[in-house]
Structure 1
């Protein structure tokens, strides 16, 4: 159950005509049922006809729309406190040809509320005996909301290793069913939900969300971060600055890097020593002495 949600939406009933009446009096509704979005404007139309009895001219016709209760306890919408602020009706001029008179009327209900869900009937009267007629059973109006809930899920969730299979699914409470648009880092994707990565890659890492839309509204989901970790972790590389020979009393910085995704944690050791020298990607040694000389190495550890 359009894109502009409730604001400014106008629903016209263009369904197969529904005829109510007998051979002499008749009301033809443009539809017997209509579903509209809360907050929108709906237009319900009908035509009516009756015999042109010359002896009762002038044929002054009074028209009104009725709802609430049954046909024996109708309510004039334009004079009812629950409706008169957001209801208006308009009727065309009555025309009589070949002993029949015809008229048209339209009821517009603005800023629809859930309480407006009801059966609406058109009634007209004229100055002659038994000159009143109400078209039954009328038009059933159902007021609903657009999508109110939408979510996107990843299976599996959390850190996902490169090469594994991942499915992103999107769901909503849209009625009728919604059409979905997927986004990665706010860029639209040509996907249909659910979407499966048979073998996820590091470049698939990013923020995903979906957008649900039907003719009665639209809604965007929460965002989910697809964290793809590298399936193969290569040996970290070590560099030294400044390079070349190092003079006693100077400083030197050792740097460690790896292809870990997400970023690794680094620990520095000196060869033949068990104690940790430094934590972090860089290890700076100041005031170099001969005792500090030797082979240094780093260990990287990535958490999936």
Structure 2
């Protein structure tokens, strides 16, 4: 972090339990980092010490780039009653040239697809992820449409006129869902938090409320 005051990685909380210095032979030292994270991308340096002398190179260090994969929906081609045709892209922070990709639909490998783009038909319950070929165990987080939303009321029980209260809509989705609240067929609010708040509830607020989640 500070070139003039280098810090021992083994004492850095971000690397706690993940770094090990191996010295299999005299004159050679190896730094091993396990459970790599994208935040580990950096330039790494070393120094060595004897009882009378300390030396640290002023040359550029060793650059480590750790990539994280992410699936992004780039285009909705058509929407049918039970299926959506869409184009998906597998994105990485370093996008290495010439890499082959592996796509997974509902945890099953799509063997015909090896490029960073996938066009396919998707049902409401499908999950999709991607990986680099040869690194199938390190997949991107899965993307999937919202599950059936649930609604909670606070405070629960009897609502007294003049009091405050909230309706909260939530749904498991990746990417995160946006929510729309309706009273009967009237749109009330839209947003990412799914909360419909009442400052001072009146009798006119009585009715049937619904929420919709989409991503």
Q: TM-score range by the shorter chain?
A: 0.3 to 0.5
Query: Higher Cα Rg: structure 1 or 2?
Result: 1
TM-score norm. by structure 2 comes to 0.44
> Which gives a bigger RCO, structure 1 or 2 (Cα 8 Å, sep 6+)?
1
